[in-house]
Chains A and B, each alone.
Chain A
Amino acid sequence: MNHVRELIHRSLEEPLGPGDQARMTEHLTACVSCAALQAELQRNDRLLGARDNALSLPPRRIRGRSAARVVGPLVGSAAVLALALIVGTQLPGWRIASQAGSPASPQPSPFGSPVDPRVDPRDQPAPPAVAIPTPSGWPGRTHEEVALNIGRDPFVVSVMRELVLPGAAGHDPRAAGLLSLGVPIYVKGFNEPLHDIWLVPVISNAEVIGAFSAPVLPNGRAVAGSYSGFVGRFPHPLPMADAVTKGSVPSDPVVLAELVWTTLGSRQGIANGQTAPFWRVFRKSGASVLIFSDGTIMAAQDLR
């Protein structure tokens, strides 16, 4: 490796001394190939440092133990994604936090996850050290933060209690045994001023029976805002690979696919006024199209 090349590499790791910096700068102004190399390596460092989208965490495999009980709040992608989203017409619609009997004062939930709403709080496991939920929410920038905190959100705790309580307004007959919260899915707001949200599925007996929606506030905090019963494939009837295929045309393949949400009308296969995620895919040309749960495709600019 020649001296300048070595300096370029070193500059990626640490600031150079004034002498080396001057030598490198002088050389780069005169040498096109070294300047191109530096630009390429800097770009590659940015690419390598870019955050990937969160991968869904599989259930922890424990030899000789039931993984589902051990994993607690996270249920594996394979199981969860094989299950289906929802939006059932006979199921409760979205319930909003302020209507759901959450505690008047936002005391920290005594529950860690998994939450067993039938058990007296004093008998629940001691929670791990996590943020205490407040009216302004809990840290919700990352998949990990959501997984750690949403099980302690007072609204979530109160809804999960009702889900398993026969006779309660929010009771779901499918909710039996130990409820778990599944892998959080990040869903972008379709347009301003919609917040991006986390969708967190509720699992009972390896079935997604509903999902919490937790908007992400501008300060990076999130708070569970609503709950909806779901049936079907979660988080969208169409797997991402199918959405990519469906959204591509031979001369213009899809290069980016993401889940977005807004309140949709009935013609997108969702009960009028319901909120549900759908795919927004970007083609190589920059054109974007939307793919809804009933398979309808629409140019993004046509959805108002």
Chain B
Amino acid sequence: MTRVQRQITLGLRQEGRSRVDWDGAYVRLGPALLRYLGRIARNRADAEDLLQETFERATRADRTLSEADVRPWLYRVATNLAIDRARRGQLIRWIPFTGREPDEGAAFDARADAVRVALRAIPPEQAGALVLRLHEGFSRTEIAKLMNVSERTVKDRLERGRENFAAAYRREESPDEPRT
């Protein structure tokens, strides 16, 4: 099926489930997904790479989804990839990342930068849950589905994530204070 045919098909069948126009989804949802990944990934390049991998997987899977399911499904794939990569990163000890690379496409904001650094300092499952909840607006039920865990686990991740983030952000705010 050509791209044109796919777009036409989608245009006519938006109510129900249909083959997804991933090109269109990339344009529509890619920027927000990149922002999300930019918060939880190790750096900007990693976030871009995860975004690409997310859409490559989406294209390969060639799923039939309703329009409303496309966004959560992409976040699910992206979150799993990000957490998986972060775990592997911890195991093989990447060269330390400062988390302070400036981003050409966005205004520089020291506070937002500190938030990103603090997020990267806490376990990736907790960072993912926090960003999905507070930045992307998913409910706890939706996050449970996205992360394939129980709601109780999501609740725990949010609580522990808030505590750990607070400690990490405090260190960012006052880097000279001794780390506990």
Contacts and interface: CB of A to CB of B under 8 A. Distances in A.
Interface of A: 1, 6, 9, 12-13, 37, 40-41, 44-45, 47-58, 60-63, 70-74, 77, 81, 112-113, 125-129, 142-144, 147-148, 183, 185, 239-241, 244, 254-259
11 contacts: A12-B162, A44-B162, A51-B135, A55-B47, A56-B104, A113-B27, A129-B14, A144-B28, A147-B31, A183-B105, A185-B105
B105 A239 contact: no
A126 B7 contact: yes
Q: 5 closest Cβ contacts across the A-B interface?
A: A56-B105, A53-B106, A255-B110, A241-B102, A48-B134
A81 B106 contact: no
A71 B27 contact: yes
B169 interface: yes
B115 A126 contact: no
Given A125-B3, A126-B4, A256-B110, A74 B30 contact: yes
A256 B166 CA distance: 23
Contact of A60 (B30, B31, B44, B110): B30
B15 to A, nearest CB: 11
Contacts of B130: 48
Contacts, number: 156
Contacts of B24: 128
B158 A40 contact: no
Contacts of A129: 11, 14
Interface string B112-150: 100100010000000000110011000010000000000
B34 interface: yes
Given A48-B134, A81-B104, A112 B109 contact: no
A54 B106 contact: yes
**Most central of B28, B39, B59, B104 by chain A CB within 10 Å:** B104
Contacts of B169: 44, 47
B108 A256 contact: yes
Contacts of B34: 55, 57
A52 B7 contact: no
Q: Report the interface size class on chain B.
A: 35 or more
A144 B8 CA distance: 21
B29 interface: yes
Contacts of A113: 27
**Most central of B7, B109, B165 by chain A CB within 10 Å:** B109
B103 interface: yes
Contacts of A259: 107
B27 A148 contact: yes
Contact of B131 (A48, A51, A74, A126): A48
Contact of A239 (B104, B110, B155): B104
Given A13-B158, A51-B135, A62-B56, 8 more contacts: A45-B134, A53-B109, A55-B38, A58-B52, A71-B23, A241-B102, A244-B102, A256-B109
**Most central of B8, B107, B130 by chain A CB within 10 Å:** B107
Given A129-B14, A257-B107, A52 B26 contact: no
Nearest to A74: B27
B83 interface: no
Contacts of B56: 61-63
A113 B23 CA distance: 11
Contacts of B111: 47, 255
